[in-house]
Chains A and B, each alone.
Chain A
């Protein structure tokens, strides 16, 4: 179903960014656990790349235009933006 992967990745990207900023970073600075950001940062990086890849694929598939791509990638860089992205994708009835 077109768009389903993109929506799932938008949610996963939002969740890992929130976990990175609101769990791993406090753990690093308040509990002295630098490994938390190292691991969560790598995981979030992986999910973010997968999301960007899915955006490129959706563009090549004809589901998104250039403006949509920019909107989704910029949204993914903002905390909670991934949730807005997912709702926007759902509202476009992409699956």
Chain B
């Protein structure tokens, strides 16, 4: 029961984190001025704490229920680290753009969005199928 509650909270945090990162990347590409400042605030108050919650709940479940012995989890962690790196990059640029009043060159989404989607697909497949 407790495991299911932790898992549900983990999934909610993942949705908020991924959605927040996606919106932040879109704002960096197409937004300007006040929108950058507002989404920087959203990233600081909602998206980044959601990422911390994802990691905390995920590690709690993995340690508590012994998932670290499974190879699929290690593979999943690689994609979560990449996704965290993308969020860190987007968050840093958003912060810089908000401070500079949008004077930063717009973000090129051609690599970021496919990379985010690929990571999400890989994570979902590894968690659901647990292939190894």
| Cα–Cα, bound, A62→B63 (Å) | 36
Query: Chain A interface (Cβ within 8 Å of chain B)?
Result: 2, 38-39, 42, 45-46, 49-50, 53-62
Cross-interface CB contact of A61 among B51, B56, B81, B92, cutoff 8 Å: B92
Tell me whether chain A's interface is mostly helix, strand or loop, or mixed: helix
Are B89 and A46 in contact, CB atoms less than 8 angstroms apart? Answer: no
Cβ–Cβ < 8 Å partners of A56 in chain B: 84-85, 88-89, 92
| Cα–Cα, bound, A49→B90 (Å) | 17
Are B63 and A38 in contact, CB atoms less than 8 angstroms apart? Answer: yes
Cross-interface CB contact of A60 among B55, B62, B88, cutoff 8 Å: B88
The minimal Cβ–Cβ distance linking A16 to chain B, given in whole angstroms, is: 13
Cβ–Cβ < 8 Å partners of A38 in chain B: 63
Bits for B51-78, please: 1 = Cβ < 8 Å to A, else 0: 1100110011011000000000000000
**Known contacts A60-B93, A61-B93; A49/B81 CB under 8 A:** yes
- Cβ of B10 within 8 Å of any chain A Cβ, yes or no, is no
Cβ–Cβ < 8 Å partners of B81 in chain A: 49
Are A62 and B85 in contact, CB atoms less than 8 angstroms apart? Answer: no
Cβ–Cβ < 8 Å partners of B87 in chain A: 53
Cβ–Cβ < 8 Å partners of A50 in chain B: 52, 55
| Cα–Cα, bound, A90→B62 (Å) | 35
Query: Considering the complex, which residues of chain B in the window 71-120 have a beta carbon less than 8 Å from any beta carbon of chain A?
Result: 81, 84-85, 87-93, 95-96
Cβ–Cβ < 8 Å partners of B96 in chain A: 60-62
Cβ–Cβ < 8 Å partners of B90 in chain A: 60
| Cα–Cα, bound, A61→B89 (Å) | 8
- Chain B's closest residue to A55 (CB) is B88
Are A42 and B88 in contact, CB atoms less than 8 angstroms apart? Answer: no
Cβ–Cβ < 8 Å partners of A57 in chain B: 88-89, 91-92, 95
| Cα–Cα, bound, A2→B40 (Å) | 13
Cβ–Cβ < 8 Å partners of A61 in chain B: 92-93, 95-96
- Chain A's closest residue to B104 (CB) is A62
